[in-house]
Structure 1
């Protein structure tokens, strides 16, 4: 599972009970993640040809259905046409405008291994399980968030075979995009990735609906003071369990009220 930053924050710092399952099924192996600039697409094609010869299947994800004059992003339609020329009769297309009947037909054919490459938008992000698909290529990976990239990567590695995820990107990456790609290459841990996502784009509202964005805290915030929040939560539970007289903690409330002055001094 892929916790989004706000959900992770709520489970760690909110008054919630939770169960954490960190282990994957024994047969599953970690997905190996690589990055490639888009001008190295020939290397990716060679890799795909090798995987197809081994009997494997491939997801190819694009951010757009069709080309846009406003956005310099890869489109699923154009990529499907390109790949069909290289792999005749082995490529099918799936996106949000695909009818329910056609979608079911395409997915059933893919499940039966009747074709090798499924070109898609992020419509495949959740709810599908194809053990024989062990490669996913994500174009314009720098345009996706960490949690979404991890969710997409989770479409492969669901069988006993070794699986690969290739993150393709355009040149001139922003610092944040470089960090996201580096984090994905280094880890398959959904919790760690969500924590890094929280550091990069915030967690939104704890008492509201916004799921991202950095919030201002008077004395500390969950992103930079994780250990302090855990310690504070333990202390609160200890005080409650021991039925301690909370009046002795009034100086802390006064301290909280003077937080702006404290931060100016610090």
Structure 2
């Protein structure tokens, strides 16, 4: 194993995270003292989280690379790399949590709906036995292996993170992770069966009210943005939708209107 390369990669991960965290901390959303979140603020968080997510994935790869090496197995190089990597992961997660502050609930929900590798997935990772083993391993014993590890990674023994607060091991992280997975399965099943049901017709008729005469009357009174209520009597989707008017649509305007007033950007 090339310990010099691993050392450089971990230092680069830490450096990249500090830059990404600084960008996140300066986001406009954290100056907002209310719970009203604008679309622009969502897009900014989306972009910045994408970078942070990538950094966490790189660090998770480094942690998995070392496997689970217990101290008594005397593979001190891999043990130290795991110890440092997990401490770094914990430090990064704690700083993310501090940055989110009272917006955490919204950001957690928003990211969970947007990314597979979301905030709850990353936070849940610290509950693994491997994390707990390294996080609470006595620092005094770590000092004793200075002469038993590769010279390129000795600095990991003495590098200490400023962790004054403990990360909250609240099981919301597990709950939201499981909820995301469950909702994702339900969504896919609903979409699949919804498409199948929408194609079921109990009666086929070529006649209808959408003809040339009625269309011309509609154009004279309709305005772009009008909501249209519709009903088809003999379709299977009616069984699952309450009320007489089962479906709706929005009138966007004629082709000439769209070309004239709607931007092509």
TM-score with structure 2 setting the length: 0.25
Relative contact order: is structure 1 or structure 2 higher (C-alpha 8 Å, sep ≥ 6)?
1
Higher helix share: 2
Name the TM-score, length of structure 1 as normaliser: 0.25
